[in-house]
Amino acid sequence: MNILMRTLLIKLLQYWGIQFFIGAFVSLYLVGVVMWNADLHSWFTVAIKGQSLCLMVGVYLCTFFSINRFSIHLHNLSYRYIIPIFSFWLMVALLCLLIFRLSYSVYYLGGSGIVMLSLFLFFEYINMVYDKKIVGYLPFGNIYTPEVSFITWVKIDDAQKVDKNIDIIMADLRAGLPNKWMFFLADCSLKGIPVYHSSRLLEMVLGRVKIDHMYENELGSLLPSKRYQVIKRIIDVFLVIVSLPITFPLLIITGLVVMIDTKAWCIFSQIRIGQGGKPFVMYKFRSMCKRLENTGAKFTKHNDFRITSIGRFIRKTRIDELPQLFNVLRGDMSLIGPRPEQVECVENFNKEIPFYNYRHIVKPGISGWAQVEYGYTENVAETKVKLEYDFYYIKNLSFSFDLLIFFKTIRTIITGFGAR
Judged against a pLDDT cut of 70, whether residue 150 lies above it is answered with yes
Same domain, 176 and 241: no
Write the single-letter amino acid at 140: F
Same domain, 195 and 318: no
Same domain, 246 and 385: yes
How far is Cα 65 from Cα 234, in angstroms, rounded to an integer?
22
pLDDT at 325: 95
Asked whether 282 and 340 are in contact (CB, 8 A), the reply is yes
**Residue 7 pLDDT level (bands cut at 50, 70, 90):** low
Asked if the structure places residue 231 within a domain, the reply is yes
Which DSSP symbol is given to 40? T
Judged against a pLDDT cut of 60, whether residue 42 lies above it is answered with no
Asked if the structure places residue 347 within a domain, the reply is yes
Judged against a pLDDT cut of 60, whether residue 419 lies above it is answered with no
Same domain, 408 and 313: yes
Asked if the structure places residue 191 within a domain, the reply is yes
Judged against a pLDDT cut of 60, whether residue 159 lies above it is answered with yes
Mean pLDDT is lowest, of 157-166, 212-221, 383-392, 403-412, for: 212-221
Concatenated DSSP letters of 310-328: HHHHHHHTTGGGTTHHHHH
Same domain, 273 and 378: yes
Same domain, 263 and 409: yes
- Of 130, 147, 179, which one is at a domain's C-terminal end? 130
pLDDT at 215: 55
From residue 53, alpha-carbon distances to 28, 33, 106 in Å are: 7, 11, 11
Return the top range by mean pLDDT from 76-85, 194-203, 206-215.
Answer: 194-203
pLDDT at 323: 94
Taking the CB of residue 153, how many other CB atoms lie within 10 A of it? 16
Same domain, 164 and 190: yes
Structural domain that includes position 383: 226-415
Q: Taking the model in full, what pTM does it have?
A: 0.79
Same domain, 348 and 235: yes
What value does the mean pLDDT of the chain take? Answer: 83
Same domain, 165 and 277: no
Task: List b or e across 354-378, with b for residues whose CB sees 16 or more CB atoms inside 10 angstroms.
Answer: eebebbbbbbbbbbbbbbbbbebbe
Q: Give the chain's domain count.
A: 3
Same domain, 281 and 349: yes
Asked if the structure places residue 214 within a domain, the reply is no
Same domain, 123 and 139: no
Same domain, 141 and 113: no
Asked if the structure places residue 255 within a domain, the reply is yes
Q: What is the mean pLDDT of residues 61-71?
A: 86
pLDDT at 1: 46
How far is Cα 418 from Cα 345, in angstroms, rounded to an integer?
19
Asked if the structure places residue 219 within a domain, the reply is no
How far is Cα 199 from Cα 223, in angstroms, rounded to an integer?
18
Asked if the structure places residue 215 within a domain, the reply is no
Assign residue 388 a region: left if phi > 0, alpha if psi is -120 to 50, beta otherwise? alpha
Asked if the structure places residue 321 within a domain, the reply is yes
